[in-house]
């Protein structure tokens, strides 16, 4: 079986994780989360989403160190829980994240050229796919550049908001949401953390995976959580929960409220770069999960090919790109994000369930087992508290995959 090349160290893996997470969460998700939970509720929801992500990250890191190959929870579920659990995780990841890719591409189009958003989105998908096809080292290099630019833009927003935005700590105590609203907001905000597992899905291309992955995953998550908390405090403190909830471009509005409207275009460009970075690593991760499923004939075996020179799953990446382009042309970004959030939470629930079985043959049972239980319960709790349409769409997609699994021709 063709193997991918191990080229990523700790810093490269952390940057891939940062590039996966620093996107929609900062530039888009704060607004609907504030609408659901209010000002104080937004911060509580962010902390809850971050904690559940940490539980998932711990489980993902343990499993990825044990099974350092492409595929993430698709592999872990198969190895620890059985073929169906692995298939359901892989199916949910591929379908949900393919929809997320389309949503990210449409976001790029909306920022750059609202009148031709779909055309720009298609061009973005083609350009990012071309970068990924040149190899994972090229993907990591491009991600480094994107992360550096995005961090600079986010620092600009934070400094501008604090220096001239009249940050009011009183706005942080707004209790406009309910308990369920906090859970709904946490489910939406979890969408912004999900990229940390991209490190695990690239496990076959990481050097010394048993050492690199457990270090890189929580480090990337911790950096992103700190950035999100700072920006959430600034955004709520400057705009207030009501104005934040109604904003289409919250961070651009923070800069404008700070008396620097001329810099709003910098934030818009930064948003475009951030989402491009997410799309870059997200397409790479979906392609590698598709590769892992094709290797076991849970998807067509032709998708299991690895390019002889570039050592990338070129057929899988081209197939994913083709589906993303189709969704961009025909689909609705809001519906795509809705059921994507639901399927991703189910994916991580399976991750935690698989991690629970590691306690049978590991000495450090109690702390990591407790985190796995909390992650499992938390993922399911957030999933069922998403908007009803998202829950119905997400579980319908999972049921469709389960039916196909039961009826598909068996591998001989």
> Is residue 303 predicted with pLDDT exceeding 60?
yes
The whole-angstrom separation of Cα 391 and Cα 394 is 5
Please classify residue 410 by burial: count the beta carbons closer than 10 Å to its beta carbon, then call 0-12 exposed, 13-18 middle and 19+ buried.
exposed
Q: Which residues contact 205 (CB under 8 A, 6 or more apart)?
A: 4, 5, 6, 7, 8, 70, 136
> Is residue 248 predicted with pLDDT exceeding 50?
yes
Alpha helices in 165-263 (DSSP H): 179-190, 198-201, 209-245, 250-257
The whole-angstrom separation of Cα 45 and Cα 34 is 9
The whole-angstrom separation of Cα 122 and Cα 186 is 30
Q: What is residue 363's predicted lDDT score, i.e. its pLDDT?
A: 46
Phi-psi region of 350 (alpha: psi -120 to 50; beta: other; left: phi over 0): alpha
Which residue ranges form the domains of the chain, and what is each CATH number?
10-155+175-221+277-402 (1.20.1740.10)
CB 59 within 8 A of CB 375: yes
CB 245 within 8 A of CB 34: yes
Q: What is residue 6's predicted lDDT score, i.e. its pLDDT?
A: 58
The whole-angstrom separation of Cα 64 and Cα 220 is 15
CB 327 within 8 A of CB 169: no
Q: What is residue 201's predicted lDDT score, i.e. its pLDDT?
A: 58
- For the stretch 337-395, pLDDT in tens is 777 889 999 999 999 999 999 875 454 555 788 999 999 999 999 999 998 888 998 99
The whole-angstrom separation of Cα 68 and Cα 105 is 30
- For the stretch 47-90, pLDDT in tens is 999 999 989 988 887 887 788 776 678 889 999 999 999 999 98
Q: What is the average per-residue pLDDT within 153-165?
A: 87
- For the stretch 165-190, pLDDT in tens is 677 777 777 666 688 999 999 998 88
Q: Which two tokens stand for residue 361?
A: 């043959």
Percent of the chain exceeding pLDDT 90 equals 29
- Bigger pLDDT: 112 or 24? 112
The whole-angstrom separation of Cα 347 and Cα 91 is 9
> Is residue 306 predicted with pLDDT exceeding 80?
yes
CB 302 within 8 A of CB 308: no
> Is residue 142 predicted with pLDDT exceeding 80?
no
> Is residue 127 predicted with pLDDT exceeding 90?
yes
The whole-angstrom separation of Cα 56 and Cα 376 is 8
Q: What is residue 89's predicted lDDT score, i.e. its pLDDT?
A: 92
> Is residue 143 predicted with pLDDT exceeding 90?
no
The whole-angstrom separation of Cα 41 and Cα 9 is 38
Q: Residue 288: which pLDDT band, with cuts at 50, 70 and 90?
A: confident
Indicate the DSSP class of residue 58: H
The whole-angstrom separation of Cα 131 and Cα 124 is 11
């Amino acid at each position: 079986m063709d193997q991918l090349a191990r080229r990523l160290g700790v810093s490269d893996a952390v940057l891939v994780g940062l590039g996966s997470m620093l996107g929609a969460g900062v530039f888009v998700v704060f607004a609907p989360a504030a609408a659901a939970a209010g000002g104080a509720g937004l911060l509580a929801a962010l902390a809850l989403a971050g904690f559940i992500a940490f539980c998932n990250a711990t489980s993902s890191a343990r499993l990825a160190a044990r099974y350092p190959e492409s595929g993430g929870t698709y592999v872990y579920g198969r190895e620890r829980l059985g073929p169906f659990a692995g298939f359901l995780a892989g199916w949910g990841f591929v379908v949900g994240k393919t929809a997320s890719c389309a949503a990210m591409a449409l976001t790029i189009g909306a920022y750059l050229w609202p009148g031709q958003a779909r055309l720009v989105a298609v061009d973005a998908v083609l350009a990012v796919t071309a970068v990924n096809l040149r190899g994972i080292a090229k993907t990591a290099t491009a991600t480094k550049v994107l992360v550096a630019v995005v961090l600079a833009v986010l620092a600009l927003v934070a400094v501008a908001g604090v220096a001239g935005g009249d940050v009011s700590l009183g706005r942080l105590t707004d209790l406009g949401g309910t308990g369920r609203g906090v859970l709904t907001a946490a489910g939406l905000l979890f969408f912004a953390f999900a990229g940390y597992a991209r490190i695990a899905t690239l496990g076959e291309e990481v050097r010394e995976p048993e050492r690199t992955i457990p270090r890189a995953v929580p480090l990337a998550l911790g950096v992103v959580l700190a950035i999100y908390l700072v920006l959430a405090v600034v955004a709520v403190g400057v705009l207030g929960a009501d104005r934040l909830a109604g904003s289409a471009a919250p961070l651009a509005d923070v800069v404008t409220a700070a008396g620097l409207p001329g810099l709003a275009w910098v934030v818009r460009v930064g948003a475009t770069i951030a989402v491009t970075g997410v799309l870059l690593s997200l397409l790479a991760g979906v392609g590698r999960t598709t590769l892992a499923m094709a290797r076991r004939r849970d998807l067509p075996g032709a998708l299991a090919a690895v390019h002889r020179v570039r050592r990338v799953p070129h057929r899988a990446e081209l197939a994913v790109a083709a589906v993303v382009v189709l969704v961009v042309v025909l689909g609705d970004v809001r519906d795509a994000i809705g059921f994507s959030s639901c399927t991703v939470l189910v994916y991580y629930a399976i991750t935690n369930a698989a991690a629970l079985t590691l306690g049978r043959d590991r000495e450090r049972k109690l702390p990591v087992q407790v985190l796995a239980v909390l992650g499992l319960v938390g993922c399911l709790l957030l999933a069922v508290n998403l908007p009803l349409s998202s829950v119905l769409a997400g579980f319908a997609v999972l049921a469709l995959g389960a039916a196909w699994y039961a009826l598909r021709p068996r591998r001989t």
